[in-house]
C-alpha cells in the first residue's frame, strides 16, 4: 500500500536519503525545506510563521490523512537561539500542527532525527534541557551561555525527552513516536567538516569498530522500518545507529536498573 509521508529537511543529507528510499518503496513524499531547494513545501522552520506555513502546505497537498512524519530538519551552530528554534521548537510545532491528520489515520508514525552526541558529550547542562521542556527559552539560552558549543546536544536531548513524555498519549491516538540517533554519517556535510581544522581531528578520532561511518542510505533503511507496519509496537524508543561509537565509550552503563521504590512501583502499576 502506498503511504504519504512528510519529511522536514527533505532535500539534502539524510533527509534526501530518507526521501529517495521511501519513494523507491512506492510511497508519496511531501518534502519541507527552505526556498530554492525544490521541496513541495517551502518554509523557514526557525520562525513560528514558517512552521505554520509548513503545516498548512503539507495539509493542502494531502489527499488523505498523513501516514507519517520524519522530523529531520536540524542545524548545528553556536547560535543557541537559532538552534533551539529549529531543532526543538520547530519540530514540536510542526508535529503538533500535523497531529490531527496523523490521528485520523489508523496507524500513523512519527520519527524524529536526534543524535548520538547527546549520549557521548560531557557537560551537557541539564538545567537548559529542563527549561526548554518547560517552554522557558530565554532561561535555556542564558544557561547555555559560554557553553554554546553544546546547544545542539541540549536541543536533541530535550527533543527526545519531549517525545518520550508524550509517546503514550500519542500512541492512544494510534500514532507511534520514536527517534533515531545517528552519529557521523557520510554526507557532503561530513566531508566539509573533515577538512575543518577544529572539527576534522575530532571526527577522525571517533571510534569505528566497523571500520567506517554509516552512509545516509544506511540510516534511511532504519527509518523506513520504523515507519512500517512491522514497527507498530515500538513506542517512545531511541535507536542509536552510529556504527558503534556510543557503545565503544559507554559499554558498561547501559542498560541501567530502574531505581524506584516498591511502593512507587505499586502505584505505577495501580495495584
Radius of gyration of the chain (CA): 19
Q: What is the pTM of this model?
A: 0.95
HSE, side-chain direction, 13 A CA sphere, residue 222: 22
- φ, ψ (nearest 5 deg) of residue 88: -115, -65
Q: How many CB atoms lie within 10 A of CB 203?
A: 14
Q: Among the residues of 109-198, which ranges form H helices?
A: 117-120, 126-133, 137-144, 151-171, 188-194
Ordered mean pLDDT values, 10 residues apiece, the chain (271 residues): 94 96 98 97 98 98 96 92 97 99 96 96 95 96 83 97 99 99 91 89 94 96 98 98 97 91 92 72
Q: What is the pLDDT of residue 106?
A: 87
Residue from 9, 24, 166, 161 nearest 86 by CA: 9
Q: What is the pLDDT of residue 1?
A: 66
Strand partners, 7: 31, 70
Q: Where along the chain do its domains lie? A: 4-269
Q: How many CB atoms lie within 10 A of CB 139?
A: 15
Task: Give the integer Cα–Cα distance in Å for 180 and 114.
Answer: 6
Strands of 74-174 (E only): list them. 108-113
Q: How many CB atoms lie within 10 A of CB 256?
A: 7
* Collapsed DSSP state (helix, strand, coil) of residue 4: strand
Task: Work out the burial of residue 259: count CB atoms within 10 Å of its CB; fewer than 13 is exposed, 13-18 middle, 19 or more buried.
Answer: exposed
The answer to whether residue 88 is catalytic is no
Task: Give the integer Cα–Cα distance in Å for 154 and 112.
Answer: 15
Fold for the domain defined by 4-269: Rossmann fold (3.40.50)
Residue in 84, 119, 152, 162 annotated catalytic:
152
- Cβ contact 177:165 at 8 Å: no
Place of cell 502505584: 267
Strand partners, 4: 28
Q: What is the pLDDT of residue 195?
A: 92
Task: Give the integer Cα–Cα distance in Å for 205 and 134.
Answer: 36
Q: What is the pLDDT of residue 208?
A: 95
Q: What is the pLDDT of residue 91?
A: 98
Amino acid at each position: 500500500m502506498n503511504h504519504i509521508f512528510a519529511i522536514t529537511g527533505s532535500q539534502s543529507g539524510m533527509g534526501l536519503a530518507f526521501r529517495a528510499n521511501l519513494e523507491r518503496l512506492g510511497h508519496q513524499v511531501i518534502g519541507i525545506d527552505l526556498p530554492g531547494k525544490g521541496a513541495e513545501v517551502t518554509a523557514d522552520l526557525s520562525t513560528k510563521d514558517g512552521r505554520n506555513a509548513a503545516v498548512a502546505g503539507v495539509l493542502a497537498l494531502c489527499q488523505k490523512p498523513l501516514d507519517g512524519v520524519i522530523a529531520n530538519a536540524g542545524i548545528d551552530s553556536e547560535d543557541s537561539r537559532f538552534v533551539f528554534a529549529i531543532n526543538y521548537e520547530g519540530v514540536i510545532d510542526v508535529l503538533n500542527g500535523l497531529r490531527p491528520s496523523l490521528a485520523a489515520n489508523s496507524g500513523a508514525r512519527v520519527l524524529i532525527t536526534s543524535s548520538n552526541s547527546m549520549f557521548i558529550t560531557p557537560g551537557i547542562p541539564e538545567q537548559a534541557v529542563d527549561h526548554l521542556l518547560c517552554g522557558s527559552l530565554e532561561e535555556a539560552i542564558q544557561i547555555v551561555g559560554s557553553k554554546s558549543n553544546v546547544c545542539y546536544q541540549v536541543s536533541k536531548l530535550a527533543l527526545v525527552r519531549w517525545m518520550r513524555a508524550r509517546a503514550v498519549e500519542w500512541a492512544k491516538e494510534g500514532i507511534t513516536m520514536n527517534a533515531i540517533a545517528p552519529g557521523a554519517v557520510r554526507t557532503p556535510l561530513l566531508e566539509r567538516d573533515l577538512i575543518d581544522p577544529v572539527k576534522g581531528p575530532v571526527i577522525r578520532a571517533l571510534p569505528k569498530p566497523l571500520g567506517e561511518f554509516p552512509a545516509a542510505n544506511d540510516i534511511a533503511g532504519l527509518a523506513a522500518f520504523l515507519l512500517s507496519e512491522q514497527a507498530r509496537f515500538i513506542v517512545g524508543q531511541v535507536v542509536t545507529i552510529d556504527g558503534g561509537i556510543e557503545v565503544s565509550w559507554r559499554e558498561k552503563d547501559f542498560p541501567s536498573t530502574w531505581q524506584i521504590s516498591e511502593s512507587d512501583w505499586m502505584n505505577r502499576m495501580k495495584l
